A and B are shown apart, each in its own frame.
Chain A
Amino acid sequence: MKINDFFSFRRLWLLVKRDVLGAHRAITLTSLTVMGVYLVISGLLAFRDAHVGFPKFAFELILTLGGMIVTSRSFSELYRPESASLYLTLPASTLEKFVGRFLLLTVGWSAFALAGMIVVSALSQVLNLFLFGQGTGLLNPFDAEIWSRIGMFIVMDTLFLAGALYFRKNHLVKTLLSVVSFFFVLAAVAMFGFFLLFGRGDANYWAGEYTQRIRLMPFFESLKIAAQVFCWSVFPAFWLVFSFFRLKEAQIRNAVQ
């Protein structure tokens, strides 16, 4: 029987099922802990004074911070020889393994966080109304800002996925440090470039209508569009391709290299 070696939705489904059901205890425990913390904080807020924006704040925090942590740990099995061999020899293509994890960590995580927060916010609202006569409100899934945050999270998560595959240990901290270092360098380069292009050494250079003119320059508009295109397409695409090849070339040399 000839097997499709490139991509099979059946194997993708098996991989996703394996990842979710294989970790169901950890998922359940973590979810219950987060739920408990949410109920306590929302109870305290409701007791003092109803804080209607809390569910949205909590959702964004869980989506982003939780997502960063989960993604950063997502390939840690690859860096332990005792678990890496069983994962790498699992009969599925690298593309399926990569897509399966990526979908789980982005779409799966967002959907899980959203659905979970809707349920928890509803539960806390009922409890708080019953106990204190006021609640912290419900999470509205039709709020456009929530979907914008999910989009931003998915883009940002590609970087943490790359960090999870690139660094051997302390994936989250090392990724964050790399990002901070990168932005320091970028800011320095941008400032230098800006100085070369527009610097006059004049103290009044930034004052008055001249600044206004510069702000309206088409160059800045183009730069803004370019930055948006970069952030929404080139940036995630680059990190996805980088991560894919990192996984494809993973070897077990007592620690994966």
Chain B
Amino acid sequence: MVTVDSLSFGYGKTRLFDGLDLALEPGNIYGLLGMNGAGKTTLLRLLAGLLFPTGGSLSVLGNVPARRSPEFLADIYYVPEEFTLPAITLGRYEKLYAPFYPRFDHALFADCAREFDLDGKKPLNAFSYGQKKKFIVSFALASGARLVLLDEPTNGLDIPSKSLFRRIVARSLSSERIFVISTHQVRDMESLIDPIIILDSGLIAFNQPLMRVAERLSITEEAEDPGEGAIYAEKGVTGFTVVRENVDGSDSTINLEVLFNAVISNRERMGRMFEEGASREDQ
């Protein structure tokens, strides 16, 4: 369980977060979306104890991240977007680093390395960017950490590896683990991330499971411009992708890119809509 309460953080005089609230529950793969500079990486770093909040409170699996206690660090794994690996082989890395993680799953690591086709004889620093990503993701999943934070994990992965990544991540999730994936590559993550968290202007603009999104919204392809009647409309080659309130309970596939744009351009309306829906459900 992760609880963020009235979190404040900034770089110098620039405030990034001011009163950010968030709760993450185990058994989910959260997709963290936001525009460039929205603070996705900063939020992941705060959760990993790599940055210290200036206000509010942050509790990750019962720990205060900024203390960076070994118990906490053994229970989280942060995969940054850019990282360097030492000039040692995969096997030696496993021997040197796995003992730090009491719940490390050697069989899972071997499976992931095999499925990602990682070369066990080559030094890790000689791996390509994509291979390094596959390696570190494999290690993160095998670490047994209950909170796995992945920052742009599909950057640098080739097309077959992206689907393999989705399969391996989905397989590694258990009822007590939380995965948070920060990404701009929403199409890579469709069918994997749920719920969706959208960061905007230093606050959580949206945090909903896809099932609820499908209940509240309908996303359709239409030939004509819907005008004011729609929450959001996006012009495409053949017509318009239109987001409307789902009043008749129809089923539609959720396009994450369109959902993201709809939230960013109609933050207040979307917020109200989901709040009203939630209060109706509570009654």
Given the known inter-chain contacts A1-B102, A91-B73, A92-B73, please indicate yes or no for A253 contacting B88, CB distance below 8 A: no
**Complex: chain B residue closest to A8, CB-CB:** B70
Cβ distance A44 to chain B, nearest Cβ, rounded Å: 34
- Cβ of A14 within 8 Å of any chain B Cβ, yes or no, is yes
Interface residue from B73, B76, B84, B99 paired with A14 (Cβ < 8 Å):
B99
* A216 contacts across to B, CB distance below 8 A: none
- Cβ of A85 within 8 Å of any chain B Cβ, yes or no, is yes
* Stretch from A21-29, A144-152, A156-164, A234-242 contacting the other chain: A21-29
* B50 contacts across to A, CB distance below 8 A: 84-85, 88-89, 251-252
**Complex: chain A residue closest to B52, CB-CB:** A251
Interface residue from B77, B80, B92 paired with A81 (Cβ < 8 Å):
B80
Could you write out 6 A-B pairs with CB less than 8 Å apart?
Answer: A2-B71, A24-B88, A88-B50, A89-B76, A89-B77, A252-B50
A-facing residues in B202-237 (Cβ within 8 Å): none
A91 and B86 within 8 A (CB): no
- Cβ of B48 within 8 Å of any chain A Cβ, yes or no, is yes
* A8 contacts across to B, CB distance below 8 A: 70
A93 and B70 within 8 A (CB): yes
A5 and B69 within 8 A (CB): yes
* A14 contacts across to B, CB distance below 8 A: 96, 99-100
A81 and B78 within 8 A (CB): no
B51 and A252 within 8 A (CB): yes
* A3 contacts across to B, CB distance below 8 A: 70-71, 74, 102
* B87 contacts across to A, CB distance below 8 A: 25-26
- Cα of A3 to Cα of B71 in the assembled complex, Å: 6
Instruction: Tell me how many residues of A have a C-beta within 8 Å of chain B.
Output: 35
The number of chain B residues touching the other chain, given as a range, is 20 to 34
A-facing residues in B252-269 (Cβ within 8 Å): none
Cβ distance A39 to chain B, nearest Cβ, rounded Å: 26
B71 and A17 within 8 A (CB): no
B83 and A86 within 8 A (CB): yes
A89 and B78 within 8 A (CB): yes
A-B interface, 4 closest residue pairs, ranked by CB to CB distance from nearest: A91-B73, A91-B74, A3-B71, A5-B69
Interface residue from A25, A82, A92, A93 paired with B84 (Cβ < 8 Å):
A82
- Given A18-B96, A88-B68, 15 additional A-B pairs, CB 8 A: A3-B71, A3-B102, A18-B97, A22-B96, A85-B45, A89-B48, A89-B68, A89-B73, A91-B71, A91-B101, A92-B70, A93-B69, A96-B70, A249-B52, A252-B51
Given the known inter-chain contacts A14-B99, A22-B86, please indicate yes or no for A94 contacting B52, CB distance below 8 A: no
B-facing residues in A64-105 (Cβ within 8 Å): 80-86, 88-94, 96
Residues of B whose CB lies within 8 Å of any CB of A are 11, 45, 48-52, 68-71, 73-74, 76-78, 80, 82-84, 86-88, 92, 96-97, 99-102
- Cα of A26 to Cα of B68 in the assembled complex, Å: 29
- Cα of A2 to Cα of B72 in the assembled complex, Å: 11
**Complex: chain B residue closest to A250, CB-CB:** B50
* A1 contacts across to B, CB distance below 8 A: 102
Cβ distance B123 to chain A, nearest Cβ, rounded Å: 8
* A252 contacts across to B, CB distance below 8 A: 45, 50-51
Cβ distance B82 to chain A, nearest Cβ, rounded Å: 4
- Cβ of A168 within 8 Å of any chain B Cβ, yes or no, is no
- Cβ of A169 within 8 Å of any chain B Cβ, yes or no, is no
- Cα of A96 to Cα of B100 in the assembled complex, Å: 12
A83 and B45 within 8 A (CB): no
Interface-centre pick from A14, A80, A91, A92 (highest chain B CB count, 10 A): A91
Report A6-41 CB contacts with B as 1/0, cut-off 8 Å. 001001001001100111111000000000000000
* A249 contacts across to B, CB distance below 8 A: 52
Cβ distance B195 to chain A, nearest Cβ, rounded Å: 25
Interface residue from A11, A85, A93 paired with B80 (Cβ < 8 Å):
A85
- Cα of A4 to Cα of B71 in the assembled complex, Å: 8
- Cα of A5 to Cα of B73 in the assembled complex, Å: 10
- Cα of A88 to Cα of B69 in the assembled complex, Å: 11
Cβ distance A248 to chain B, nearest Cβ, rounded Å: 8
* B49 contacts across to A, CB distance below 8 A: 88-89
**Complex: chain B residue closest to A7, CB-CB:** B70
Cβ distance B232 to chain A, nearest Cβ, rounded Å: 33
**Complex: chain A residue closest to B11, CB-CB:** A253
Cβ distance A247 to chain B, nearest Cβ, rounded Å: 10
- Cα of A51 to Cα of B8 in the assembled complex, Å: 66
- Cα of A22 to Cα of B123 in the assembled complex, Å: 11
Interface residue from A11, A24, A26 paired with B100 (Cβ < 8 Å):
A11
